[in-house]
Amino acid sequence: MAEAGIIDGRAVAARVREQLKTDVAEFTARTGIQPGLATVLVGDDPASEVYVASKRKSSVAAGMADLHQHLPEDATQAQVEELLRQLAANHAVSGILLQLPVPAHLDAASLIELIPFEKDVDGLTTMSVGLLAQGKPGLRPCTPSGVIELLDAYDVPIEGARVVVIGRSELVGRPVAQLLVNRNATVTIAHSRTKDLAAVCREADIIVAAVGVKGLVTGEFVKPGATVIDVGIHRGADGLSGDADFASVSEVAALVTPVPGGVGPMTIAMLLANTLRAAELQYSLAD
């Protein structure tokens, strides 16, 4: 069998960003409102600083306002809460993103709940999760949205497809499963208690690996001609790798995402898309 085709996340993300630049300019010209993204970083975690800097740079490149806020490592719960309330009330702020993880002395869950659903560009609040579960319009988590965007970009049929999502995290597994159900896929959520995981996966037309176990999915898990979306990312002496063993999976699958260069680039692209959607939502609510 021929080696699997590569799903190029960098190329798809670049197309999404280029379209967003046009859409943001059109929205600003039509409404007089420039979408603004408020990234909130508490502390000086090096990895978080890199992630936030990339998000800020990308938002500016898309024509959005960079409304970044940085609090010190020892900021109190009350101080972070007050900042989030101010951003929630600020009409210049279209989207609020609290960079995770926050310092251990802070209660991240309660902080996230202070973000209004119409500004929740991470799609993590209880309201956003509920809107997704009910199939109602709202802001969806960025990485799961990126998975759907990749499948659509490569014309992978979702409606009627059998899908196995490996992993049930609130950040990826559960929301991507719900997005796929909303697109009329038949979805199985597999996890650490799933019996004979390989056999379950071999029934799937699409496998989404989002469990955080390096190289878990091998060619033995994959039905010939299936699509494998690898959300995992692991750093090792040999570089980055994912939850799927790329070499063996490529021998069986029709399409597979590489790590790096697959799902990863989509996350910031979908964050920008969410920021524009948030601005549009707030504009419509103000009418």
Q: Which residues are annotated as a binding site for NADP(+)?
A: 167-169, 233
Among 23, 119, 120, 122, the one annotated catalytic: 122
Backbone angles phi, psi at 81, to 5 degrees: -60, -45
Chain centre distance of CA 124: 11
The yes-or-no answer on residue 99 being catalytic is yes
Binding residues: 167-169, 233
Q: Write down the catalytic residue from 99, 205, 230, 245.
A: 99
CA distances from 176 to 75, 186, 237, 266 (A): 33, 12, 30, 14
Strands (DSSP E) found in the chain = 5-6, 36-42, 65-66, 69-71, 95-98, 162-166, 186-190, 206-209, 227-230, 234-236, 239-241, 255-256
24: β partners: none
Cβ atoms of residues 269 and 145 within 8 Å: no
Active-site annotation holder among 55, 230, 245, 282? 55
Neighbouring C-alpha atoms within 13 Å toward the C-beta of 159: 0
Q: Is 55 a residue of the active site?
A: yes
Contact partners, residue 255, CB within 8 Å, separation at least 6: 4, 5, 6, 7, 154, 156, 227, 228
User: What are the catalytic residues?
Assistant: 55, 99, 122
